[in-house]
Amino acid sequence: MSNTAGQVIKCKAAVAWEAGKPLVIEEVEVAPPQANEVRVKILFTSLCRTDVCFWEAKGQTPLFPRIFGHEAGGIVESVGEGVTELKPGDHVLPLFTGECGECRHCLGATLNVAKPKKGQSVAVFGMGAVGLAAAEGARMAGASRIIGVDLHSSRFEEAKKFGVTEFVNPKDHDKPVQEVIAEMTDGGVDRAVECTGSIQAMISAFECVHDGWGVAVLVGVPSKDDLFKTHPINLLNERTLKGTFFGNYKPRSDIPDVVEKYMNKELELDKFITHSLSFSEINKAFDYMLHAKAIRCIMTMGA
């Protein structure tokens, strides 16, 4: 055990005090881990759109002050009573979903939900990090056409690196984007993946897949009052709508394999990192994300 085990420690944190206001770097006290808890020394961290959603509190329940951070890497500093899978010194990735290995969810399927077959067409809504990862997966699966959909046309050039072959900006058309995609693809794409959290994008993703066999997968997190609305004929025409949480990956079962593939250079992930900042510059990282200037911005803690 470390020499701080069982003690309250002081750490630097970026605290959000109000919705949409700059975060404040200040010292906070971190309690020792309780039963089944782990205390982790974070070395690097990043942002994702979920952090922005809860920071802006638009359509989400406001809760302040709060400290964000679920995309990080660190080392276990100490563990609480009952923890058997981890020990001090272990390198870990904290995630927003767990895996006990015993419940019905953990024993379910672990395959990616929307993995297309070779030669099929895929539309990806949102060219942020999650959408680009979906495009990369489609490319690796052998998709013949990968259509990126985003409100920022400036993202297309970067998206080409992830396999995107065509780009559609809904603002450039006077008709719903699902109709534009249907015209481009002779009736619709084989697969669509929605990665924005926009309810309209979710509807468009579902309605742009081909009748008879098309599958749309919702990944983005909507606002709490959003309702999904589509005509029942879209279901009767044999389109399939699915949702996924964390891509159906199981943290303890699947993520170590992803890490190993990266370490063995079987996965090219460095292209997701467009900016590197010190932790003290976290507000700049939020600004990059708000203005679609970054895919992933990595921040070094202690700097």
Q: Assess whether 241 and 126 both reside in one domain.
A: yes
238, 261: one domain: no
The answer to whether residues 213 and 255 belong to one domain is no
Instruction: Note the pLDDT of residue 1.
Output: 44
Q: Mean pLDDT across the stretch 268-277?
A: 91
139 plus 231 within the same structural domain: yes
**Cα–Cα distance list, 125 to 138, 193, 293 (Å):** 13, 6, 17
- Which domain-ending residue is among 199, 224, 245? 245
User: In the beta sheet, which residues pair with residue 283?
Assistant: none
The upper half-sphere exposure of residue 6, i.e. CA atoms within 13 Å in the direction of its Cβ, equals 3
Q: Looking at the DSSP assignment, which residues form a beta bridge with residue 146?
A: 122
User: Do 145 and 208 belong together in one domain?
Assistant: yes
Any domain includes 35 = yes
Judgement on whether residues 15 and 98 belong to the same structural domain of the protein: yes
Whether residue 286 lies inside any domain: the answer is yes
Residue 217 lies in a domain: yes
Asked whether residue 235 falls in the same domain as residue 137, the answer is yes
Rounded to whole angstroms, the Cα distance separating 12 from 302 reads 8
pLDDT band at 4 (very low <50, low <70, confident <90, very high): confident
Residues 30 and 51 occupy one common structural domain: yes
Does 4 reside within a domain? no
Do 179 and 129 lie in one domain? The reply is yes
- Ranking 13-27, 51-65, 164-178, 277-291 by mean pLDDT, the lowest is 51-65
35, β-bridge pairs: none
Domain that residue 189 falls in? 121-245
State how far the Cα of 74 lies from the Cα of 72, in Å rounded to an integer: 7
In a domain, 223, yes or no: yes
What confidence score (pLDDT) does residue 108 get? 62
Reported as a single tens digit per residue, the pLDDT across 157-191 is 999 999 999 999 999 999 999 999 999 999 999 99
Final residue before a domain boundary, out of 207, 223, 245: 245
In a domain, 114, yes or no: no
Same domain, 128 and 152: yes
For residue 2, pLDDT over 60 is answered with no
Question: What one-character DSSP code corresponds to residue 294?
Answer: -
Last-in-domain residue among 245, 269, 286: 245
Query: Which of 225 and 77 is assigned the larger pLDDT?
Result: 77
- Cis, bond preceding 65 (omega within 30 deg of 0): yes
Q: Using N-to-C axis directions, what is the helix angle for 282-290 and 49-56, rounded to 10°?
A: 100
Predicted TM-score of the model (pTM): 0.79
Contact 135, 148 (CB under 8 A): yes
Unique residue bearing structure tokens 């699966």: 141
What is the layout of strands, in order, in the sheet containing 191-194?
Answer: 166-168, 145-149, 121-125, 191-194, 215-218, 240-243
Whether 150 and 92 share a structural domain: no
Quote the tokens at residue 124.
């990806």
pLDDT tens digit string along 32-53? 999 999 999 999 999 888 888 8
Establish if 233 belongs to a structural domain.
yes
Q: Are residues 37 and 96 in the same domain?
A: yes
pLDDT at 111: 38
pLDDT in tens, 80-128: 999 998 999 999 998 877 787 777 766 763 235 677 889 999 999 999 9
Q: pLDDT tens, 204-261?
A: 999 999 999 999 999 988 887 889 999 999 999 999 999 887 777 788 888 888 899 9
Residue 135 in domain: yes
CATH assignment of the domain containing 44: 3.90.180.10
Sequence-distant (≥ 6) Cβ neighbours of residue 135 within 8 angstroms: 122, 124, 127, 146, 148, 159, 162, 163, 164
Q: With 50 as the cut, is the pLDDT of residue 133 above it?
A: yes
Question: What DSSP element (H or E) covers 40?
Answer: strand 38-45
Longest dimension (CA), the chain: 65
- Evaluate whether 217 touches 196 at the Cβ level (below 8 Å): no
Distance CA 166, CA 148 (A): 6
* Count of structural domains, the chain: 2
- At 200, which CATH number? 3.40.50.720
Is residue 68 within 8 Å of 16, Cβ to Cβ?
yes
pLDDT beyond 50 at 277: yes
Where are the alpha helices (H) located in 219-273, listed in sequence order?
233-236, 251-263
